[in-house]
């Protein structure tokens, strides 16, 4: 087993992990759970995933009791749970401060643990301000109930907003996202989230590597999405050529993505765990030539649409910086410096976050910020104001409809740029 950092954090998680989604409480009780968990540990797994909603909380109870009876040292393992669906009451679900605090305490009680290593927001909550959620997750960490927090099935826009709020408030942002990822579901991991890996060091713990069994070959008739050109009869020869089952090839393919920290697997039998864990030995077989063969068969690689969304920063000296999509730009500003948004097609919502200023007592700013955030639309003109003649400011420009990370600059006044390119 190999171990990877969870994103940019120092936490090490096994490349393959085990989740209790469809097994504990629904099909298995404590006795069976102990056998499965020990089988995972024997194969080097140290990361175990759960959620308050799994089997209405019973999955957490079973996992906690099994780990306690197995006598494992708590520091040897990484346990996560997820908060969102905690009950039927109006405040028993969502990401309000109330439910995050109460739901986390209830999960820890069911797990019979003092803390979890990672706590996820199981889905985005449109009815709760993201700032409230960010503050609540940091409260849980400050109380010692968790070490890290993350998201599950959030959009890149929502994660970016959470990070912008966290940085403004000097709080911890989400270090990990838990999306579905397999040969049939790739857009978020391989396209939408791309800027997040470099901008925030986001890690991934992905679920459903077998696409609910489709990629094992068990459901080859009629189970492939209707808009997919994927055909199992063309994919299986690649597995046969490598001498591995379809399931191992599918799991290994997910784990081979360098942005994936851990692939969450599921199983109800020890034999299934043993089979899944052998996927580790398949990863070295996935040479560039083999990966291209797979691509030729599945034809599911996401296409990145061309971006026509450009923000031009006029620095007041006939020079300008262009930030295409999402980036971080540092400008040495003078009083009267103008920020002009031009040529923005299909993306009327651009947000500019003031990250920091080198001299806070200068009172310099671009326009009037609302809690450190300024919304711009096409044709917006914002002028730098302040008491003194210059200052150094870091901004994060985000165009949310198409997150592409690149930067061009021909400005003599541009103090510098710090943007990673893909």
Q: From CA 295, how far away is CA 230, in angstroms rounded?
A: 10
CA dihedral 126, 128, 133, 139 (to 10 degrees): -160
CB neighbours of 170 closer than 8 A, spacing ≥ 6?
Answer: none
Q: 54 catalytic, yes or no?
A: yes
pLDDT tens, N- to C-terminus, the chain (422 residues): 999 999 999 999 999 999 998 788 778 899 999 999 999 999 999 999 999 999 999 999 999 999 999 999 999 999 999 999 999 999 999 999 999 999 999 999 999 999 999 999 999 999 999 999 999 999 999 999 999 999 999 999 999 999 999 999 999 999 999 999 999 899 999 999 999 998 999 999 999 999 877 887 665 555 555 555 556 677 889 999 999 999 999 999 999 999 999 999 999 999 999 999 999 999 999 999 999 999 988 888 887 644 433 344 333 333 334 333 333 334 444 444 444 443 333 333 444 444 433 333 344 444 433 344 444 444 444 444 444 434 444 444 443 322 222 222 222 233 222 222 22
How does DSSP classify residue 309?
E
Render the burial of 266-301: b for 16+ CB within 10 Å, e for the rest: bbeeeebbebbbbbbebbeebeeebeebbeebbebe
Q: From CA 35, how far away is CA 31, in angstroms rounded?
A: 7
Q: Which of 3, 18, 54, 139 is catalytic?
A: 54
Which of 180, 178, 261, 184 is CA-nearest to residue 216? 184
The three-class DSSP label of residue 365 is strand
DSSP line for 12-62: EEESEEEE-SSSBTTTB-HHHHHHHHHHHHHTT--EEE--TTGGGGHHHHH
CB 204 within 8 A of CB 13: no
Considering the entire predicted model, what is its pTM?
0.71
Size (the chain), residues: 422
> 309 pairs with which residues across the strands?
344
CA dihedral 283, 289, 290, 295 (to 10 degrees): 120
Which of 356, 354, 352, 329 is CA-nearest to residue 418? 329
Sheet holding 365-366, edge to edge: 365-366, 381-385, 338-344, 309-314, 320-325, 405-409
Q: Where are the beta strands (DSSP E) in 54-112?
A: 78-83
Q: Which residue segments constitute the domains of the chain, with CATH numbers given?
A: 3-298 (3.20.20.100), 309-417 (no CATH)
**C-beta atoms surrounding 304 within 10 Å:** 14
């Amino acid at each position: 087993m190999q171990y990877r950092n969870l994103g940019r954090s120092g936490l090490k998680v096994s490349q393959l992990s085990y989740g209790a989604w469809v097994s504990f409480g629904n099909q298995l009780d404590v006795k069976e759970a102990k056998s499965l968990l020990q089988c995972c540990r024997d194969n080097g797994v140290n990361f175990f995933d759960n959620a308050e909603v799994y089997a209405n909380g019973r999955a957490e109870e079973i996992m906690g009791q099994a780990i306690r009876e197995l006598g494992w040292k708590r520091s040897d393992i990484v346990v996560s749970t997820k908060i969102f669906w905690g009950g039927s009451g109006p405040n028993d679900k969502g990401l309000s401060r109330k439910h995050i605090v109460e739901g986390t305490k209830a999960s820890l009680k069911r797990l019979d643990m003092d803390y979890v290593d990672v706590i996820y927001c199981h889905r985005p909550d449109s009815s709760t301000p993201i700032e409230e959620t960010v503050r609540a997750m940091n409260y849980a960490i400050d109380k010692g109930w968790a070490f890290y927090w993350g998201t599950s099935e959030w959009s890149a826009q929502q994660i970016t907003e959470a990070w912008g709020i966290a940085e403004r408030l000097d709080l911890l942002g989400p270090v990990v996202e838990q999306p579905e990822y397999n040969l049939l579901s790739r857009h978020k991991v391989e396209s939408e989230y791309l800027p997040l890996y470099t901008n925030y060091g986001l890690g991934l713990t992905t679920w459903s590597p077998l696409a609910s069994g489709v990629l094992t070959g068990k459901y080859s008739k009629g189970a492939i999405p209707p808009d997919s050109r994927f055909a199992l009869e063309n994919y299986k020869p690649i597995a046969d050529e490598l001498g591995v089952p379809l399931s191992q090839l599918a799991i290994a393919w997910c784990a081979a993505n360098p942005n994936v920290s851990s692939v969450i697997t599921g199983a109800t039998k020890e034999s299934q765990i043993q089979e899944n864990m052998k996927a580790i030995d398949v990863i070295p077989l996935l040479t560039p030539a083999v990966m291209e063969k797979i691509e030729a068969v599945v034809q599911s690689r996401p296409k990145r649409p061309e971006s026509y969304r450009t923000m031009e920063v006029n620095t007041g000296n006939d020079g300008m910086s262009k930030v295409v999509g999402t980036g971080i730009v540092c400008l040495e500003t003078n009083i009267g410096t103008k920020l002009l948004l031009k040529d923005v097609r299909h993306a009327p919502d651009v947000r500019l976050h003031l990250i920091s200023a080198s001299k806070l007592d200068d009172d310099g700013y671009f326009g009037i910020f609302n809690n450190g955030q300024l919304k711009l639309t096409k044709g917006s003109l914002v002028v730098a104001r302040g008491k003194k003649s210059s200052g150094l400011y870091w901004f994060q420009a985000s165009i949310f409809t198409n997150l592409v990370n690149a930067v061009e600059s021909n400005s003599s006044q541009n103090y510098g740029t710090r943007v990673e390119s893909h």
